[in-house]
């Protein structure tokens, strides 16, 4: 996976880099929201197709991990600018900011974002990035996980698949998905 990280604490961003690169992910680290938005735009500009249909299936990054409080531009403003460029970009806030305030703030984005409350174990970050919870939920309804992984779906597609299968399973509980 290709992951963009915006974190002003160099020790934290170094730990993220080591943990995620150890899992085979490609990581780009930025030190503030402004630098993050520029890195996102630079990556977006490399794409020959910038249509909404293409960006839904092939975002510049599989995930953008943002701290909330950063110099020059905070994570919320960075998220707004990134989502203006691609409304389907996966955003994960990893912040020590007060959770209830952060939850209220992200409502203004009018997009689905994920929240990780610092401090957290690195395994939580990795599991979130790699969609472990979604794959576990798919396993519980007897979905062939290897077949799904071979499709190489993005996060949004996995989430939609899980929601659709849960809905179908509720309607016809005797069907073995």
Q: Residue 171 pLDDT > 50, yes or no?
A: yes
Higher pLDDT, 109 or 151: 151
Q: Is the pLDDT of residue 16 over 80?
A: yes
Nearest CA-CA partner of 41 in 13, 19, 67, 73: 73
Burial class (CB in 10 A: 0-12, 13-18, 19+), 84: exposed
Percent of the chain with pLDDT over 70: 87
- The whole-number pLDDT of residue 175 equals 46
**Fold for the domain defined by 2-130:** Rossmann fold (3.40.50)
Per-residue pLDDT, 146: 77
Residues of the chain with CATH 3.40.50.2300: 2-130
Q: The pTM is what?
A: 0.78
- The predicted pLDDT at position 36 comes to 97
| Residue-level pLDDT at 177 | 47
- CB-facing half-sphere around the CA of 174: CA atoms within 13 A: 0
Q: How far apart are CA 58 and CA 61, in angstroms?
A: 8
Average pLDDT over residues 60-80: 92
Sheet holding 2-6, edge to edge: 26-30, 2-6, 63-66, 91-95, 114-117
Please check the confidence at residue 120 and state whether its pLDDT lies above 70. yes
pLDDT score recorded for residue 169: 72
- Mean pLDDT calculated for residue range 102-129: 78
**Residues 11, 13, 18, 22, Cα dihedral to 10°:** 160
Question: Average pLDDT of 103-109?
Answer: 67
């Amino acid at each position: 996976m290709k992951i963009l990280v915006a974190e002003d604490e160099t020790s934290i961003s170094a730990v993220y880099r080591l943990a995620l690169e150890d899992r085979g992910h490609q990581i780009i680290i930025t030190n503030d929201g402004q630098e993050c938005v520029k890195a996102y735009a630079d990556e977006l500009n490399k794409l020959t197709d910038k249509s909404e249909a293409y960006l839904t299936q092939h975002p510049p990054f599989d995930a953008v991990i943002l701290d909330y409080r950063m110099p020059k531009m905070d994570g919320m403003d960075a998220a707004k600018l990134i989502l203006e460029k691609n409304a389907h970009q996966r955003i994960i806030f990893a912040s020590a900011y007060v959770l209830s305030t952060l939850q209220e703030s992200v409502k203004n984005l009018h997009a689905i974002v994920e929240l990780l409350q610092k401090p957290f174990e690195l395994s939580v970050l990795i599991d979130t990035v790699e969609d472990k919870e979604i794959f576990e939920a798919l396993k519980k309804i007897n979905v062939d996980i290897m077949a799904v992984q071979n499709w190489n779906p993005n996060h949004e597609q996995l989430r939609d698949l899980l929601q659709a299968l849960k809905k179908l399973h509720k309607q016809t509980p005797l069907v073995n998905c």
